[in-house]
Amino acid sequence: MSAPSVTTTLPWLPLSCAILVQIAECLLLEVLFPFLAFMVEDFGYGNIEIGFYTGLLASCFCSAQFCTSILWGMVSDRYGRRISIIAGLIGGMIGR
């Protein structure tokens, strides 16, 4: 006697929305890099200091995301995942 065959389908709509959110998050970080060196130069730092302060600014962006991830998790637990994702994406659009 063979075991019954169980087929499950992936929830394509929620999965595609999650993938698009992850791509948007990566783009928020990657769009920053071409402009950082010019921004640091406009702040008045010389050639030797540009690399250090460019790396510092990039790491501050990632550190801020790390530090607020617990807050976003609490918002997601309280108000729902969809609300927190939409609020984060809108905040990212406004911040850019």
Confidence (pLDDT) at 96:
63
Residue 87 CB contacts under 8 Å (≥ 6 apart), including other chains: 75
Beta strands in the chain (DSSP E): none
Confidence (pLDDT) at 2:
65
Confidence (pLDDT) at 81:
85
Instruction: Give the predicted TM-score (pTM) of the model.
Output: 0.57
Confidence (pLDDT) at 77:
92
Q: Which residues of the chain have pLDDT under 70?
A: 1-5, 96
Residue with tokens 């050639």: 47
Residue with tokens 């006697």: 1
Residues 13 and 43: their CA atoms lie apart, in Å, by 45
